[in-house]
Amino acid sequence: MPFPSKSGLKITQIDVKDVRFPTSLGGHGSDALHTDPNYSCAYVTTTTEGGRQGFGLTFTCGRGTEIIVLTIRSMKKFVVGRNAADIFADFAGFWRQITNDSQMRWLGPEKGVVHLAVAAILNSLWDLWARLENKPLWRLLVDLTPEELVSTIDFRYITDVITKDEAVQLLKSKLPRKEERVKELAAKGYPAYTTQVGWMGYSDELVKELCAKYLGLGFKHFKVKVGLNLKDDLRRCTAVRKYIGEDKTLMVDANQAWSVGEAVEWMKKLAHLKPLWIEEPTSPDDVLGHAAISKALKPYGIGVATGEMCANRVMFKQFLQSGGMQYCQIDSARIGSVNEILSVYLMAEKLKVKVCPHAGGVGLCEMVQHLQLWDYASVSATMEGRLIEYVDQQHEHFYDPCVVENARYMAPKLPGYSTQMFPETLQRFSYPKGTEWQRMFKDGTFPEPDEAELVNV
């Protein structure tokens, strides 16, 4: 597949919006460390001379989204005026330029606010590319030749695990029967698990009701938040295990609540409930700590899952090398967009670690399904032990929402990365000028924005 021709693809505008949903009002998304998130995003629209558009976002939890929005505005200078076709033809080079500007890289490097901003911008470019090809993103990825695909990846700092040549060979080795797998995906989709039954802020009654609901919808895997109070965790996990039965799978998620020793002791006390994994037991930066926890919990049959806050491919590399993660939870909006995520999938395949993507929030389910479908068609070629997280929130704001049927993500069909939001959503939930926010400031549901939150208005 040739890269797009340059005609009409000079990028003339990057627009960015601070979009926030008042999810803290319902306790949705609450966990051990995030007690009152307002699920939000920085939402980017990239427009070319010829009027073509791409949409991208990075997920946030409310306060501070104004900082990401400003960072995207500060990074416009690296994108506006470039031709999108030139970017796609040397995507790795462009990636390195925007992530490693000589002056700005001090603010990361390749982590936190600056990397979240890069993710939003590049997600809009990948959406644009897929729209230009008139394909959903997963098909664009599947249809790239191995050489074209790896041309989008910066291999600096990961060659001790996989080189560009090895990546090409790996992809080539999976070409036979690729089209069969594509057909299977188009027909049957990809298995999902639900996190909807066990948010920290949910009442017992709601948990029971939700277990029944999601069992009815065909789910076999259920995740529960833990880590604030052992007695409470035992009560809720015991209840969920009772409601779902012994033949279903329970996972638990501590959202970084513990130190290393504490994680091991706490999980021993939940081990009789047979959780498949403990997710984010400790600091997302602690590779060696996760390796120690993995080793200590192996005799109990409990694996360690992490990745949603893993800063970049170098951190993923180490988690994969060290035995610190048995389930690799890539996130579609934290690390440097598809370019960097592809490299994590390739390292995971090389080191034989299962990828079970993180999703939920705003748009994460919509995006990450594309990546996991590509993985099945082109990389791992198996679904064994692999699942995509599913959270049933915020989908109504997207033109092309993910569709989960009988606990499986159905393969997206529309062109793009499923990232475009409805204009009405932007008009209602843009922060702080959206109509919903203005209403909630007026009636005292939320305090007025502070002066820092007004700089992007």
Residues carrying an active site annotation: 225, 358
Task: Quote the CA–CA distance of 209 and 187 in Å, as a whole number.
Answer: 31
CB 263 within 8 A of CB 231: no
Task: Quote the CA–CA distance of 57 and 334 in Å, as a whole number.
Answer: 10
Asked if 136 interacts with its own copies (CB under 8 A), we say no
Stretch touching its own copies by CB under 8 A, among 252-260, 296-304, 423-431, 438-446: 252-260
φ, ψ dihedrals at 282, nearest 5°: -145, -165
Stretch touching its own copies by CB under 8 A, among 236-244, 315-323, 380-388, 423-431: 315-323
Output 110 or 375, the one with its CB closest to its own copies: 110
Q: Residues 285 to 314: which contact its own copies by CB under 8 A?
A: 285-289, 292, 309, 311-312, 314
CB of 73 to its own copies, least distance (A): 4
Output 37 or 412, the one with its CB closest to its own copies: 37
CB 432 within 8 A of CB 446: no
In 220-304, which residue ranges form alpha helices assigned H by DSSP? 230-244, 260-270, 287-297
Asked if 453 interacts with its own copies (CB under 8 A), we say yes
Asked if 201 interacts with its own copies (CB under 8 A), we say no
Number of other residues whose CB lies within 10 A of the CB of residue 206: 13
CB of 440 to its own copies, least distance (A): 16
CB of 323 to its own copies, least distance (A): 11
Largest interatomic CA distance in the chain: 63
Output 327 or 446, the one with its CB closest to its own copies: 446
Stretch touching its own copies by CB under 8 A, among 239-247, 336-344, 391-399, 446-454: 446-454
Q: Residues 66 to 85: which contact its own copies by CB under 8 A?
A: 66-68, 70-71, 73-74, 76-77
Number of other residues whose CB lies within 10 A of the CB of residue 102: 7
* Tally of CA atoms within 13 A in the half-sphere of 42 that contains its CB: 31
Output 88 or 429, the one with its CB closest to its own copies: 429
Q: Residues 144 to 163: which contact its own copies by CB under 8 A?
A: 155-160
Stretch touching its own copies by CB under 8 A, among 4-12, 173-181, 258-266, 362-370: 258-266
Q: Which residues pair with 198 in a beta bridge?
A: 224
CB of 389 to its own copies, least distance (A): 17
Q: Residues 350 to 389: which contact its own copies by CB under 8 A?
A: none
Burial class (CB in 10 A: 0-12, 13-18, 19+), 247: exposed
CB 347 within 8 A of CB 341: no
Among 315, 364, 388, 402, binds its own copies (CB under 8 A): 315
Calculate the dihedral angle through the C-alpha atoms of 293, 197, 373, 339, rounding to the nearest 10 degrees: -60
